[in-house]
Amino acid sequence: MSKLKYQMIIQWSEEDNCLLVGFPDFSGQRWRTHGDTYELAVANGIEALESLIIAYEAVGDPLPEPTINRVR
């Protein structure tokens, strides 16, 4: 299984005037990165997710189970 099978939520923030990116499967802070465009938010989100996974693995913490939508 790919380690990048996690939800990435991208939401516009009027207060921050940018798109915020979060990963609900990981506890802790709600928003982990941002971008001024959708494309930049996605790219920054992928980078943040990769870094988050590396950080978990570096300290030996188990990765959370990803939320998976199973179509029947």
For residue range 25-35, list pLDDT tens digits in order.
998 888 999 99
Partner residues linked to 13 by β-bridges = 18
Contact yes or no for 25/6 (Cβ under 8 A) = yes
What's the CA gap between 39 and 72, in Å, rounded?
Answer: 31
The residue among 2 and 19 whose pLDDT is bigger is: 19
Within 13 Å of residue 12, how many CA atoms lie on the same side as its CB?
4
CA–CA distance, 8 with 41 (Å, rounded to integer): 10
pLDDT at 11 over 50: yes
- What is the C-alpha R_g of the chain? 13
